[in-house]
Amino acid sequence: MIAASTSRSGKGLHRRSAKAASGAKANQKSASTVLNQLMMPAIEGLSTRSPAYASSGPSAAPVARVVLLGASNLTRALPRAVALARLRVGSPADFLIAAGHGRSYGRRSRVLIRSLPAILECGLWDSLPNPPSTTGKCFALISDIGNDIVYGESPATIAEWIERCLDRLAGAMHSCEIAVSALPLESLRAMSPRRFAVVKGLLFPRHALTHGQAMARIEELHERLIDLARRRRAALIQCPGAWYGLDPIHIRRQSMGRAWAAMLGCEDRGAAPGLSWVESTRLSFQTPQRWWLAGRERGRPQPAATLADGSRISLF
């Protein structure tokens, strides 16, 4: 009798333990699902209560195309740049973006253990000749041109790389408005040799370049960009020193709004409806089509994200 009771008690305990374990697994799975939803690679069909995203929904075809080329300044301001570009060309839009800290236009670049292909060698150009059926405007911005000076490239070589970008954009997207952001000449001219050494040591420690060499190349490249923009009928956007602080090449956070409104040509179009917090956060975690981590190649299909208004974001 005691043995039978003990057996029944043991079976009941086993069932309760199994049920508790099952509940724990369910809770763990639920928590994992929530985490994956927050950090998922793509933001397909995001919804928001903001009226800025109450337009056509993720199934609507893009009405415009935007190409953004740059490096760290574009990366830091990406959600803002996307919002402002939509203000200029309309929404939804198809975005092709090549950015990334330390990005080079003509050579593979590395920051810590992450490497990116040259902008001229990334997959953006394969997508460019095959635009979606857009009926609206087309706009392209070439920015963050100065990194290659620190990498040791000559002004002539850098200008040639920018001209190749202009050729490809003009050849693939007819009637496209193209802008080129100038070097932050005012900010750079105010930089002392000592300050230059500190900035170079922090941002580009592996590259040997003196203050005098850098300034001579900056002045020459600036003149070449002026000539290039004039010949190719591209808008050259000046970058005033007021946009920058102690760091002479990265736009201050409090200046980002007016700086990117100027570069994207929408200063007089009112305030841009920004991305939601969820969209901005998730967009910051997206990875490009091709990159390397500690020498190991990685990648993902594009587009990487679809915003709530139907705009598609492809990163390269």
What CATH code is carried by the domain that includes residue 151? 3.40.50.1110
pLDDT at 1: 40
Give domain status of residue 55, yes or no: no
Number of domains in the chain: 1
Residue-number span of the structural domain to which 193 is assigned = 60-315
Q: With a threshold of 0.85, does the pTM exceed it?
A: no
Instruction: Find out whether 264 and 141 touch, Cβ atoms under 8 Å.
Output: yes
Residue 65 pairs with which residues in a beta bridge? Answer: 94, 138
DSSP the chain: -HHHHHHHHHHHHHHHHHHHHHHHHHHHHHHHHHHHHHH-S--TT---S-GGG-SS-TTSPPSEEEEEE-SHHHHHTHHHHHHHHHHHH-SSEEEEEE--TT--SSS-EEETTEEE--GGGSTHHHHTTS-----S-EEEEE---THHHHTT--HHHHHHHHHHHHHHHHHHSTT-EEEEEPP-HHHHHT--HHHHHHHHHHH-TT----HHHHHHHHHHHHHHHHHHHHHHT-EEE---GGGB-SSSSSB-GGGHHHHHHHHTT-TTS----PPPHHHHHHHHT---SEEEETTEEEE--S--EE-TTS-EEEE-
Give domain status of residue 22, yes or no: no
Give domain status of residue 26, yes or no: no
pLDDT at 135: 56
131-160 pLDDT, tens digit per residue, is 555 556 899 999 999 999 989 899 999 999
Distance of alpha carbon 157 from alpha carbon 51, whole angstroms: 47
Give domain status of residue 33, yes or no: no
Give domain status of residue 41, yes or no: no
pLDDT at 265: 92
Give domain status of residue 105, yes or no: yes
Give domain status of residue 18, yes or no: no
pLDDT at 243: 97
Give domain status of residue 25, yes or no: no
Using 50 as the pLDDT threshold, list the residues of the chain that sit under it: 1-59
pLDDT at 166: 96
